[in-house]
Amino acid sequence: MGQIQLNQVTKSFGNVQVIPPLDLTIEDGEFTVFVGPSGCGKSTLLRMIAGLEDLTSGQISIDGEDATDTPPAKRGLAMVFQSYALYPHMSVRKNIAFPMRMAKMDKAEQDRRIEAAASALNLTDYLDRRPGQLSGGQRQRVAIGRAIVREPSAFLFDEPLSNLDAALRVGMRLEISEMHERLKTTMIYVTHDQVEAMTMADKIVVLQAGVIEQVGSPLDLYNAPCNKFVAGFIGSPKMNFIEGAEAAAHGAHCIGCRPEHITVSTTEGLWQGTVGVAEHLGSDTYIHIHGVPGCDPMTVRASGEFTVKHGDRVYLTPDMNHLHKFDEAGLRVA
């Protein structure tokens, strides 16, 4: 079991409240991602769940039991940090075994769990090496292995991939997702990278200034953002926002349209603009277009075969079935 409930949880540092009263339920076996810009409170919230930060007020329950004042080691949770936090003088085997040794677990059971974790994480051939002999991705797998052997109710990941290069991040993202499918254990994952959130989560929690802006599945947030902040944060490249007369014509203060929902042509269209930078990615081309009234620049996704050059005049037509409307406060207009 691994259900986690937060009831009216708050956190203040001195007179500054960084987490206003907050309610959230994370279901057993769910992969939940906390996402938001730097300073939004996502890591603080994770540390409060882990017991590494005291609550100012409110309650945290784990599997229906009040864990608000329970020490971190007794919460049945395992945390994987941004830094690997491995002991450099110990072998991989001893690093993975460390929490079990501290718990004075039977040696045979330790060995069983180490072998199982190493097999799941492709570390069997590296058990006798030291961390300095491993790549960054392998070291992160060791840190995850050390968490797995504790057989926790939930795993807590605090930006675990941010120290890796782009290729390793993609690989580790897949490995963590595969691990979740195998273990079916609750996982809470903190990241500022909305691509990680979209590709890994069952449920995304979008935070801004300690406030939950929206909770939902990746596609729920992508297709039906509740406000302009969520609309602009979820999606890469981000949504285009158009203000002024064009928005007013649709009964909104601002309208949004994603790059893939705008057709670009060299002959005709609703809007006109001038090509700036065109990013050719093979299957797709992202074109940054200047001079569109109310939105400068506008980003459009075209096929990889669509060729334009800097300074070309182009015409744009939005898909009216995929327009997002927002009022003056930035809230979604039904």
Same-domain status, 109 and 244: no
Q: Which residues contact 182 (CB under 8 A, 6 or more apart)?
A: 120
Same-domain status, 118 and 164: yes
Domain extent for 299: 237-333
Task: Kindly give the interhelix angle for 107-120 and 92-102, rounded to the nearest 10 degrees.
Answer: 130
Q: How far apart are CA 194 and CA 222, in angstroms?
A: 11
> Token digits for 309?
């050059």
Same-domain status, 9 and 113: yes
Burial class (CB in 10 A: 0-12, 13-18, 19+), 13: exposed
DSSP state, 52? S
Among candidate residues 184, 216, 231, the one where a domain is terminated: 231
How many other C-beta atoms can be found within 10 angstroms of the C-beta atom of residue 239? 21
Q: How far apart are CA 115 and CA 118, in angstroms?
A: 5
Predicted pLDDT of residue 294: 92
Among candidate residues 193, 212, 231, the one where a domain is terminated: 231
Strands 31-35 and 186-191: parallel
Q: How far apart are CA 87 and CA 263, in angstroms?
A: 54
Predicted pLDDT of residue 83: 78
The domain that contains 279 carries what CATH number?
2.40.50.140
Predicted pLDDT of residue 194: 87
Long-range contacts of the stretch 219-222 (C-beta < 8 A, 24+): 222/198
Same-domain status, 132 and 196: yes
3-class secondary structure, 39: coil
Same-domain status, 204 and 280: no
Predicted pLDDT of residue 1: 61
Predicted pLDDT of residue 222: 96
Task: Kindly give the interhelix angle for 136-148 and 166-183, rounded to the nearest 10 degrees.
Answer: 20
How many other C-beta atoms can be found within 10 angstroms of the C-beta atom of residue 34? 28
Map tokens 């690997």 to a residue: 84
The domain that contains 111 carries what CATH number?
3.40.50.300
| Element at 21 (helix H, strand E) | strand 16-26
Same-domain status, 161 and 283: no
Has this prediction a pTM greater than 0.75?
yes
Q: How far apart are CA 153 and CA 75, in angstroms?
A: 8
Among candidate residues 231, 256, 277, the one where a domain is terminated: 231
Strands 203-208 and 262-265: unpaired
Same-domain status, 217 and 243: no
Predicted pLDDT of residue 253: 95
Same-domain status, 186 and 62: yes
One digit per residue, the tens of pLDDT, for the chain of length 334 reads 689 999 999 999 999 999 999 999 999 999 999 999 999 999 999 999 999 999 999 999 999 999 999 999 899 999 988 777 889 999 999 999 998 998 889 999 999 999 988 988 889 999 999 999 998 888 888 988 998 898 899 999 998 888 778 877 888 888 889 889 988 999 999 998 888 999 999 999 999 999 999 999 999 999 999 999 999 999 989 999 999 988 998 899 999 999 999 999 999 999 999 999 999 999 999 999 999 999 989 999 999 989 899 999 999 999 999 999 999 999 999 7
> Token digits for 72?
């971190």
What is the distance, to the nearest Å, from the Cα of residue 179 to the centroid of all Cα atoms in its chain?
Answer: 17
Closest alpha carbon to 67 in 159, 3, 22, 12 = 3
Strands (E), 114-153: none
Predicted pLDDT of residue 160: 85
Maximum C-alpha span of the chain: 75
Same-domain status, 199 and 314: no
Give how many domains the chain has, as a whole number: 2
Same-domain status, 110 and 178: yes
Q: Nearest 10 degrees: CA dihedral of 141, 143, 144, 145?
A: 90
Is the CB of residue 158 less than 8 Å from the CB of residue 82? yes
Same-domain status, 61 and 17: yes
Same-domain status, 127 and 34: yes
Output the DSSP codes for 170-223.
HHHHHHHHHHHHHH--EEEEEES-HHHHHHH-SEEEEEETTEEEEEE-HHHHHH
